[in-house]
Structure 1
């Protein structure tokens, strides 16, 4: 199945400062800023577009349960994940499993913009957190 780059997720400690850098230094546009307290997310998120390339800035809102907080504690701030858009998330997951690649079922969700997503198990991806995603019809952020 064909995959195309969708976005990169960056773990940050100070969302306002990071937004300022992406807008004023890199020339990006703030597409959205929102807070998600969903279990397994617990982050404030800013979506930045720099000439057609999307970056999600992720700041933890709960320093004990947020996976972004755990990531920053273990590895520091910086690139958290790389996301690839697929035509059909369910079929892509089945293809991964056929190839012995595990997914992290507890990360499967639909975000506020209609993006269905799941993370692949980093133990099967050389340590890189990879997100697979597709978009529901009529999503305002549909790539």
Structure 2
């Protein structure tokens, strides 16, 4: 079911400062920032080998990332795996009794389709499944 690790998500208070840190210290070239209103975040990504790092900053304190920052502070937030068929992956997981946050896909950054597996269903790790748009 799982393809490559698509990205690792880091929750940050200041996306500009975090992007600047990675650019200045690691030579990373972050993408343009993108607001994902449905999730209450601003996101940017930069490539690391075959995968990416996603920096996410909340746009409001009551968003999932805003609540995460209030409880845990900045740092690792989630792992995202690329899948070819998101509906099939979610159906298989649900059929196996895995606890999901999203039982159907949502639109994420870059027009991808995505869904989250609850950390309780994945040994404490918030797990995102991502189906990339064709082309």
TM-score (normalised: structure 1): 0.86
- What SS does the corresponding residue of 1:56 show, helix, strand or coil? strand
In proportion to residue count, which structure has more helix? 2
Q: Which range moved further: 99-108 or 123-132?
A: 99-108
Which position in structure 1 is the counterpart of 2:73? 76
Higher relative contact order, structure no. (Cα contacts within 8 Å, ≥ 6 residues apart): 2
Structure 2: distance between partners of 1:93 and 1:57: 25
Any gaps of 5 or more consecutive residues in structure 1?
139-143
> How does 1:114-125 map onto structure 2 within 5 Å?
114-125=111-122
Quick one: structure 1 residues 67 and 5, their matched pair in 2 at CA, closer, same or farther if it must change by over 3 Å?
same
Conservation of the 8 A alpha-carbon contact between 1:118 and 1:132: yes
Tell me which moved more, 107-116 or 96-105: 107-116
Query: Which stretches of structure 1, 4 residues or longer, exceed 2 Å deviation after superposition?
Result: 50-53, 105-108
Aligned alpha-carbon RMSD (Å)? 1.7
Report the more deviating stretch, 65-74 or 43-52: 43-52
Cα 1:19–1:50 change in 2 (3 A) is same
Write out aligned runs for 1:93-108 (5 A).
Answer: 93-105=90-102, 108=105
Q: Separation in 2 of the partners of 1:77 and 1:55?
A: 14
TM-score calculated relative to the size of structure 2: 0.91
Residue 137 of structure 1: how far off its partner (Å) = 1.2
- CA 1:45–1:106 in structure 2 vs 1: closer, same or farther (change >3 Å)? farther
Which residue in 2 is equivalent to 1:46?
44
Change (3 A) 1:3 1:100: farther
SS at match of 1:23: helix
Count of matched residue pairs: 135
- Counterpart-to-counterpart distance in 1, 2:119 and 2:30: 29
Structure-2 separation of matches of 1:4 and 1:42: 26
**What's the counterpart of residue 87 of structure 1?**
84
Gaps of 5+ in 2: none
